[in-house]
Homo-oligomer: A and B are copies of this chain.
Amino acid sequence: MRLGKQTVTFEKMPYITATAAIVGPYEGEGPLKDGFDRIIENDDNGEKSWEKAETKLMQDTYHLLLQKGNTTEKNIHYVLAGDLLNQNIASSYAFRDRECSYLGIYGACSTFGEAVGIASMIMAGGFAEQIICITSSHYCSAERQYRYPLEFATQRPPTSQWTVTGSGGLLLQKDGTGPMVEMFTAGKIVDQGIKDANNMGAAMAPAAADTIATHFVETGRKPEDYDLIVTGDLGAVGTDICRELLKQYGVDVFERHEDCGLLMYDRSKQDAHSGASGCGCCATVFSAYFYPKLRNGELTRILFVPTGALLSPTIVQQGESIACIAHAVAIAG
């Protein structure tokens, strides 16, 4: 049912019956290490290129998810997947020759939220019984994709974020037990003129604030209705801006806001600058950290808001500012 221009609510709420997350060694040294299902030993993941390493990360997460969800590929009606690489290749090649329908999605680091939103509408509409939503990113493939090859050893400014090496996924089921998707507020593309590709937090913050504020207006809910509002990967810089912007909209989230980009690394020991980012960031943090808390009752309801910077190196070189988007998913434990 539609609550407003951007928000729908689900009468028949889809269940998130399982999640899975596999991450890289650097992520495995962070504070969430005990929550991840697996930590790979080397960034190359036993493959000959970073792109193939990322593809394998997603493949392995997918198989683990089927196993944890106690299901098999023949029950999966759709896989919704995406990543940061050109032409979404980590996803496309992870699902090559598999026996399930594939729908490629692209929303940069907001992809996981977009996938869960679309999947929930498909399921609540009666068109699927089991759907997998999965995303990935890899520090090394992303650096050469968006910035420079690692061999170039460029110095990074303090506003920059560290792309998560990891893949996270969830299994959505029509019937089952577990946290449920209550609502989906789909974002608009917002561009406030930030041109610094090393400051994506600042670029994404206005998009996050826009979607969160819209969610509260359209649903009539208040921040207090959620235990937490969880953004994707705003990092330290973007988190401050987002909170301030929301305050200007009259929405005070200071007491109940967390950012996956700030949870992934121990910034006092790990040199991750402004925090974590990437399609794999909020997917693995949701899977390893928030999902268990929703499942065991420690959290009763969160607003999960993956954030994405829709830039490409080409558009930055052409002098454009960074268009961003954020999608909000209300999840009840």
- Give me the interface of A with B, judged by CB distance under 8 Å: 1-2, 5-6, 8, 48-49, 51-52, 74, 77-78, 82, 84-89, 92-93, 95-108, 114, 117-118, 121-122, 124-129, 186-191, 310-315, 318, 320, 323, 325
Minimum-distance CB pairs A-B, first 4: A125-B125, A101-B186, A87-B312, A92-B310
Residues of B near A49 (CB, < 8 A) are 318
Residues of B near A188 (CB, < 8 A) are 97-102
8 inter-chain pairs at a CB distance below 8 angstroms, sorted by A residue, are A5-B99, A5-B101, A51-B318, A78-B186, A86-B86, A89-B310, A102-B325, A103-B118
Across the interface, name the chain B residue whose C-beta is closest to A92.
Answer: B310
Contact A126 B125 (CB under 8 A): yes
Contact A191 B97 (CB under 8 A): yes
Q: Name A88's contact: one of B106, B122, B127, B190 (CB within 8 Å).
A: B106
Contact A127 B8 (CB under 8 A): yes
- Bound CA span A170–B103, Å: 19
Residues of B near A314 (CB, < 8 A) are 51, 85-86, 89
Residues of B near A312 (CB, < 8 A) are 85-87, 89
- Bound CA span A8–B264, Å: 39
Minimum distance in angstroms from A194 CB to a CB of chain B:
13
Across the interface, name the chain B residue whose C-beta is closest to A97.
Answer: B191
Which of A87, A126, A128 gathers the greatest number of chain B CB atoms within 10 Å?
Answer: A87
Contact A105 B102 (CB under 8 A): no
Residues of B near A121 (CB, < 8 A) are 121-122, 125, 127
Contact A106 B104 (CB under 8 A): yes
Residues of B near A190 (CB, < 8 A) are 96-97
Contact B77 A5 (CB under 8 A): yes
Contact B125 A311 (CB under 8 A): no
16 other A-B residue contacts (CB within 8 Å) besides A51-B314, A85-B314, A121-B125: A1-B126, A2-B128, A5-B101, A51-B315, A78-B186, A82-B106, A86-B87, A88-B106, A96-B190, A96-B191, A97-B189, A98-B188, A104-B105, A104-B107, A104-B310, A105-B106
